[in-house]
Amino acid sequence: MRQIFLDTETTGLSADNGDRIIEIGCVEMLHRKLTGNNRHFYVNPGRDSHEEALKVHGITSDFLKDKPTFAKVAQDLLDYLNDAHLVIHNAPFDLGFLNMELALIKQPPLKTVVASITDTLVMAKEMFPGKRNSLDALCVRLEVDNSGRTLHGALLDAELLADMYINLTRGQNPLLMDEGPVIDANGDRISALDLSQFVLPVIRANEQELAAHEDVLRQIDKSSKAKTIWRTADQKMPQSVA
């Protein structure tokens, strides 16, 4: 699966009230491995950032004055995101700005370009209800090093998001999955192991072990006053007819 972790920085908090995108950062992951095939754009928004927003990202209008407009980078961005599984923290915010910018250049919304969109904020709220689930808070909770994050930056935040996502979803994949070819230390491809070649031995309990097991069940049954589920289930099962 090709996943793109995306973050934006903006001139303010409201796309509906004229705020614009000033930075886009994208990090690519293929089969849960970072590829290094990332994208990073600074964008001239044609307006100043709000004072509070400037304190967050530190990207000045003077720095952005010679950067391309969103219209100039849009096709490169769309080609890069095409058919990818997009992962964003607090997706409605970034999508609201991206879709607004696309609408201004007569392009359809981003959902028509990507394969899917995952919001890690929604995931985090389900896993950690009642706790702070900002990117910084999750990095601390999931042991992702964010010590270099003094100001917000789209590419850095996308990189942190990718690391955080890996830790957030660790253990949620099936044991048998297609991770692509396995490569050894010499760069040679290792053939997949066919597990069907193996016959696993079945070690059955002996009489002494069965008796000990039955004794434990009997003690539990006695403590519960004969209300254990396995005894009740045995009584309800129909007897076979000889």
pLDDT in tens, 102-153: 999 999 999 999 999 999 999 999 999 999 999 999 999 999 988 766 667 8
pTM for the model stands at 0.69
pLDDT in the model for residue 188: 55
Q: Which residues contact 157 (CB under 8 A, 6 or more apart)?
A: 7, 25, 89, 135, 149
| Domain match, 215 and 174 both | no
Asked if the structure places residue 189 within a domain, the reply is no
Asked if the structure places residue 192 within a domain, the reply is no
pLDDT in the model for residue 219: 83
Asked if the structure places residue 223 within a domain, the reply is yes
CATH number at residue 13: 3.30.420.10
Note if 89 is an active site residue.
Answer: no
Residue of 50, 85, 152, 213 marked catalytic: 152
Q: Which residues contact 176 (CB under 8 A, 6 or more apart)?
A: none
Residues of the chain with pLDDT under 50: 173-179, 182, 184-186, 240-242
Nearest to 26 by CA among 208, 199, 154: 154
- Domain extent at residue 168: 2-183
| Domain match, 179 and 211 both | no
Asked if the structure places residue 190 within a domain, the reply is no
- The tokens describing 43, both together, are 């964008």
Asked if the structure places residue 164 within a domain, the reply is yes
Check: CB of residue 67 under 8 Å from CB of residue 24: no
Q: How far apart are the first and last CA of the chain?
A: 55
